[in-house]
Amino acid sequence: MATKTSHDGVNVDTRNDGVSEAVLQGDGRSIGPRLRSEGVWRALDEASFAILGYVTPSGEPRSSGVVYGTVGRRLYVAVAPDSWKARHIASSGRVAVTVPVRRGGILSLVAPIPPATISFHATAVVHPPGSPEVRARSKELASLLPAERQASSSVIEVVPEGAFVTYGLGVPLMKMRDPAAARERVPVRSGLETR
| Total domains, the chain | 1
Contact 171, 34 (CB under 8 A): yes
Tell how strand 30-32 and strand 116-127 pair up: unpaired
pLDDT at 190: 67
In this predicted structure, the answer to whether residue 122 has a pLDDT above a threshold of 90 is yes
Q: How far apart are CA 75 and CA 156, in angstroms?
A: 8
Whether 95 maps to a domain, the answer reads yes
Output the pTM of the full model: 0.78
Mean pLDDT of the chain: 81
Q: What pLDDT is stored for residue 43 in this prediction?
A: 95
177: containing domain: 35-187
Residue 97 lies in a domain: yes
pLDDT confidence tier of residue 67, bands split at 50, 70 and 90 = very high
190 or 69, greater pLDDT:
69
The CATH number covering residue 42 comes to: 2.30.110.10
Q: Is 24 inside any structural domain?
A: no
pLDDT of residue 96: 98
